[in-house]
């Protein structure tokens, strides 16, 4: 197990280098620079432009710029936003809980619906329910996030007027950030209606972001269950006289969860990508929207730092999922 963790951790260094390289060079391939976008419509004369470029260090050769950037990162300095002048780290810290809250809700939504749906589909194989679950999940899996988000807004917010269109909570409330998770903070604040408002704002983004993981989890649970139910040890469990419920929920599900957890691990990266789109659609004040805004402003330090920090988050979550995998799969736990 220790070796297992160490190999995982040792992968972090090359991944870290990869992320910094990508984030650094990709954004510089995009035409335009931060000075132009800051100057905006008014424009800027060439001399002043050149002077500012020198000030920001953009005139140096690009590899020198990268070297300077990396050495600062290694000292823990991610730089300051070119737009707000606030340190990248403190902006990220303030915004990240919103993204995390959305991601957690989405994955819970996917698990709470996907596990039982996949299980029942497997048990009632080839029934109408099974075909329904498989059909819907295929549709859900292929749904583009932007389109799906807009459809839901049109139906539930515009037509039915059931849910708010954007933001995390109604503007009426000011919630002191304690944990950064509004669901918790709104309860702590004791303000009447704040929690309900936070929940209302979460519903659509959660559905939009949770749809792909939901589809993946439902399908994976079904196929894993089908395989497990044909195993010898399930026949043994029946031969012991155990109840159907216990066989399915304990003996079968426990084994079926192993591939499902692997799939959830693979979904973590997808989830954060989805979060960036979802936050943009719903004006969700998280790191996703922050990054998108940074792209438009060519705010290099924010983009580089944000991508790096998000990458670290995805890697850490992946590591946690791998540990969970080791915990539920005794064969891994003892062999490595």
Partner 1 sequence: MALLEIENLSVEFPTQGGIMRAVDGVSLKLEEGEVLGVVGESGSGKSVTMLALMGLVPFPGRVRADKLSFNGRDLLTISDRERRKLTGKDVAMIFQEPTTSLNPCFTIGFQLTETLRLHEGMDRRAARRRAIELLDQVGIPSAESRLSAFPHQLSGGMNQRVMIAMAIACNPKLLIADEPTTALDVTIQAQILDLLINLQKERNMALVMITHDMGVIAETAKRIMVMYAGQIMEERAAEDLFASPQHPYTSALLAALPENSKGSRLSTIPGVVPGLYDRPKGCLFSPRCAYATEHSRSVRPELRPWAGGQIRCHYPLGDSSRTARINADHPLDAEAAS
- Residues forming the site for partner 1 (CB under 8 A): 230-233, 235-243, 251, 254-255, 258, 328-331, 334
Of residues 48 and 235, the one with the C-beta less far from partner 1: 235
Tokens of 188: 């702590």
- Burial track 276-305 (b if 16+ CB lie within 10 A, e otherwise): bbbbbbbebbbbbbbbeebeebbbbbbbbb
Of residues 251 and 289, the one with the C-beta less far from partner 1: 251
CB 252 to partner 1: min, Å: 9
CB 254 to partner 1: min, Å: 5
CB 1 to partner 1: min, Å: 14
Cα–Cα distance measured from residue 139 to residue 242, given in angstroms and rounded to the nearest whole number? 37
CB 189 to partner 1: min, Å: 43
CB 237 to partner 1: min, Å: 7
Of residues 40 and 241, the one with the C-beta less far from partner 1: 241
CB 107 to partner 1: min, Å: 23
Of residues 126 and 142, the one with the C-beta less far from partner 1: 126
CB 236 to partner 1: min, Å: 5
Place of tokens 């008014």: 42
SS3 state at 266? helix
Of residues 259 and 288, the one with the C-beta less far from partner 1: 259
Of residues 82 and 220, the one with the C-beta less far from partner 1: 220
Of residues 12 and 258, the one with the C-beta less far from partner 1: 258
Count of C-beta atoms within a 10 Å radius of residue 57: 11
> Could you report how far apart the first and last alpha carbons of the chain are, in Å?
5
Sequence-ordered list of residues with C-beta below 8 angstroms from that of 81, at least 6 positions apart, any chain: 87, 88, 91, 294, 299, 301, 302
Helix axis angle, 2-10 relative to 12-29, nearest 10°? 20
Cα–Cα distance measured from residue 278 to residue 207, given in angstroms and rounded to the nearest whole number? 10
Cα–Cα distance measured from residue 199 to residue 57, given in angstroms and rounded to the nearest whole number? 45
């Amino acid at each position: 197990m220790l070796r297992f963790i160490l190999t995982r951790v040792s992968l972090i260094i090359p991944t870290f280098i990869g992320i910094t390289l990508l984030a650094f060079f990709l954004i510089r391939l995009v035409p335009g620079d931060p000075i132009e976008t800051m100057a905006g419509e008014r424009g800027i004369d060439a001399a002043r432009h050149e002077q500012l470029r020198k000030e920001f260090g953009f005139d140096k050769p690009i590899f020198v710029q990268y070297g300077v950037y990396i050495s600062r990162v290694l000292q823990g300095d991610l730089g300051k936003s070119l737009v707000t002048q606030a340190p990248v780290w403190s902006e990220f810290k303030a915004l990240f809980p919103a993204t995390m809250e959305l991601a957690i809700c989405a994955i819970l939504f996917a698990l709470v619906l996907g596990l039982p749906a996949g299980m029942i589909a497997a048990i009632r194989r080839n029934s109408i329910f099974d075909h329904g679950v498989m059909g819907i999940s295929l549709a859900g899996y292929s749904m583009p996030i932007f389109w799906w988000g807009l459809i839901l807004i049109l139906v539930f917010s515009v037509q039915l007027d059931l849910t708010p269109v954007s933001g995390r909570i109604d503007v009426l409330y000011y919630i002191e950030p304690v944990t950064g998770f509004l669901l918790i903070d709104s309860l702590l604040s004791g303000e009447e209606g704040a929690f309900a408002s936070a929940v209302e704002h979460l519903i659509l983004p959660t559905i939009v972001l949770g749809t792909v993981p939901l589809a993946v989890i439902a399908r994976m649970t079904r196929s894993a269950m089908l395989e497990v139910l044909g195993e010898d040890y399930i026949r043994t469990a029946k031969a012991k006289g155990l109840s159907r419920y216990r066989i399915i929920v304990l003996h079968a599900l426990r084994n079926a969860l192993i591939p499902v957890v692997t799939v959830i691990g693979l979904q973590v990266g997808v989830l954060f990508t989805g979060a960036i789109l979802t936050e943009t659609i719903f004006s969700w004040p998280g790191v996703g929207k922050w990054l998108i805004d940074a792209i438009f402003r060519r705010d290099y330090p924010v983009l580089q730092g944000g991508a790096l920090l998000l990458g670290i988050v995805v890697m850490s979550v992946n590591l946690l999922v791998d540990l969970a995998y080791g915990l539920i799969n005794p064969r891994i736990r003892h062999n490595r």
